[in-house]
Amino acid sequence: MNSDKQPVVTRFAPSPTGFLHIGGARTALFNWLYARSQGGKYLLRIEDTDRKRSSDAAIQAILDGLKWLGLDWDGEVVFQSGRQARHAEMVEKLLEEGNAYRCYATPEELKEMRESARAQGRRQGYDGRWRDRDPAEAPEGVAPAIRLRSPNDGETVITDQVQGTVRVANDELDDMILLRGDGTPTYMLSVVVDDHDMGITHVIRGDDHLTNAFRQTQLYQALGWQPPVFAHIPLIHGPDGAKLSKRHGALGVEAYRDMGYLPAALRNYLCRLGWGHGDDEVFSTAQALEWFTLEAVGKAPARFDFKKLENLNGIYIRESDDAALVENALPFIEEKLGRALETDERTRLNTAMPGLKERAKTLVELAESALFYFRERPLELNEKAANLLTGDARAMIGQLRDVLADATWDVDGLEAVVRAFADEKEMKLGKVAQPLRAAVTARATSPGIFEVLEILGRDEALARLQDVAP
RNA sequence: GACCCCUUCGUCUAGUGGCCUAGGACACCGGCCUUUCACGCCGGCAACACGGGUUCGAGUCCCGUAGGGGUCACCA
């Protein structure tokens, strides 16, 4: 597909003003998928040009989030803040060639400009008042910003891999600031210079950047550089249909981790948001790698649906192997329990896992449902369990305990005894099994009760029965 | 407001002019299985925003309308 061209290089370029939110995670995923599927490189660049709004904690959260998601990047992380000299150098070149100019307009002036433009219903933006003005007229003591002298005629066209051909009239675009009055580079300048210097061939990002792409294209042209291939992917929206952002309901990926979602499930789900491969719903990352193309990315924004993620996560949990699930669920269990699990308890957890994982959609649910195995007697009954253990039921449990004491302690042996007991009492199995479950697990739902009894062990199980018997 | 983008079941989507009386998945509602809850299986509900064209034929192409979204900083 790309055989006669240079190798693909993509990048994910978050600004460290907060955690890695779900939209960013998907952008990273798509960049990663595209680069990896093309045999190219996927780089990471932290856009910390605005030092005031950036934080080390945010940088760490982003790195951690990407690692947790399994989106490993090539090479060293590039910090944009470390490249300011290079950015300024390019502006110098632009200035020399007459493609940029100094602008002495004050913030107040600019504000006025915007307000009157809005009032008159005109395009908002800088009016170019210093574009051709003699620098000799520069006011005293004002540090100028440097603006790009962008074309006023014609149009700028982008051939976007997702959005198609998009064009805008050049007079819609004002002269953007490249270097602030204090000499620091703006985002527009930095991205272009960095993407160029890093050899980025494909810029895949949220389509909230689509309009930026026009300005950036003009900058590329002024610099005499070949613009990268653009692919603006639609945003992820919240349930209300509005852009999901840090200040609008978006959660950091660590929140998904804490809610007990598996990285593989989240990757799979994110793939299905805006991209698809026919009717395929559940597929591995390896398969996504085989199938992924930018062409198949849709143009319409998608809403985030927790129910579907949850369903997918349940599938991944069921398909996970027991040992891995023990590792993954352990932190959740220990946190709820308030203590670490002993070695033999971990073994028990592993043994119980097939029954547990069948009915959990998240690691949190999995942990919750496993707790009864490790709680200490006497168990605190939840409401439903308490309702099950009526006076009659407790009396029955007392008798059942005695017959159970002589049972062969495995699933078959236990089931045989309980069924015989129910027959003898002329009770339906459920009438016996439910109180039994309540007594042993302190809940009304659990894995198969005979399996639970076996895993719990004779002594512990009988003691728990004794606890609720009259 | 200006510019740009979008529009198939509640949600994610398949669909690239005839295979569509529109398919799948999640959710929802029934049923089966069953010691509970899940799982699994079976069945059901449910959509081409609207209006004009083009065409023998339109969910698919064109135009318009409506609705939604994004962007308009010396933020990124």
| Sequence-ordered strand ranges (E) for A150-246 | 155-160, 164-169, 177-179, 202-206, 229-233, 236-237
pLDDT confidence of residue A400: 96
Please give the nucleotide, over all strands, whose C1' is closest to the CA of residue A276. B13
CA of A311 to C1' of B40 (A): 15
Closest CA to A403 of A450, A462, A460, A453: A462
Q: Report the protein residue whose CA lies nearest the C1' of nucleotide B16.
A: A296
CA of A167 to C1' of B56 (A): 37
For chain A, counts of helices (H) and of strands (E): 19, 12
- Residue A411 C-beta-side C-alpha neighbours within 13 Å: 8
End-to-end alpha carbon distance in chain A: 76
Both tokens of A424, joined, read 């003898």
CA of A330 to C1' of B14 (A): 40
Q: What are phi and psi of A342, to 5 degrees?
A: -75, 165
A246 is an active site residue = yes
Of A246, A299, A357, A425, the active-site residue reads A246
pLDDT in tens, A390-433: 999 999 999 999 999 999 999 999 999 999 999 999 999 999 99
Closest CA to A333 of A359, A353, A308: A353
Closest CA to A357 of A347, A346, A370, A341: A370
When pLDDT is cut at 50, 70 and 90, the band that residue A121 belongs to is: low
Residue A395 CB partners (closer than 8 Å, separation 6+): A469, A470
User: What percent of chain A has pLDDT above 90?
Assistant: 83
> Which burial class, exposed, middle or buried, applies to A50 when counting CB atoms under 10 A from its CB (0-12, 13-18, 19+)?
middle
Please give the nucleotide, over all strands, whose C1' is closest to the CA of residue A299. B6
Res. A148: pLDDT tops 80 = yes
Please give the nucleotide, over all strands, whose C1' is closest to the CA of residue A240. B68
pLDDT in tens, A83-103: 999 999 999 999 999 999 999
Please give the nucleotide, over all strands, whose C1' is closest to the CA of residue A305. B11
- Computed over every residue of chain A, the mean pLDDT equals 93
Res. A122: pLDDT tops 80 = no
pLDDT in tens, A33-62: 999 999 999 999 999 987 778 889 999 999
Please give the nucleotide, over all strands, whose C1' is closest to the CA of residue A279. B24
Please tell me the distance from the alpha carbon of residue A372 to that of residue A413, in angstroms, as a whole number.
22
pLDDT confidence of residue A113: 84
Please tell me the distance from the alpha carbon of residue A304 to that of residue A199, in angstroms, as a whole number.
33
Please give the nucleotide, over all strands, whose C1' is closest to the CA of residue A174. B72
Q: Report the protein residue whose CA lies nearest the C1' of nucleotide B40.
A: A358
CA of A329 to C1' of B2 (A): 53
When pLDDT is cut at 50, 70 and 90, the band that residue A249 belongs to is: low
Provide the pairing of β-strand A155-160 with A164-169. Answer: antiparallel
When pLDDT is cut at 50, 70 and 90, the band that residue A3 belongs to is: very low
CA of A276 to C1' of B54 (A): 31
Res. A316: pLDDT tops 50 = yes
List chain B nucleotides near protein: any atom < 7 Å from a Cβ: 1-8, 10-15, 23-27, 34-40, 68-76
Q: What are phi and psi of A201, to 5 degrees?
A: -100, -30
pLDDT confidence of residue A241: 74
Give per-residue burial for A64-78: e unless 16+ CB within 10 Å, then b. bbbebbebebeeeeb
Both tokens of A118, joined, read 């809005």
CA of A449 to C1' of B9 (A): 40
Q: Is A203 helix (H, G, I), strand (E, B) or coil?
A: strand
CA of A307 to C1' of B8 (A): 21
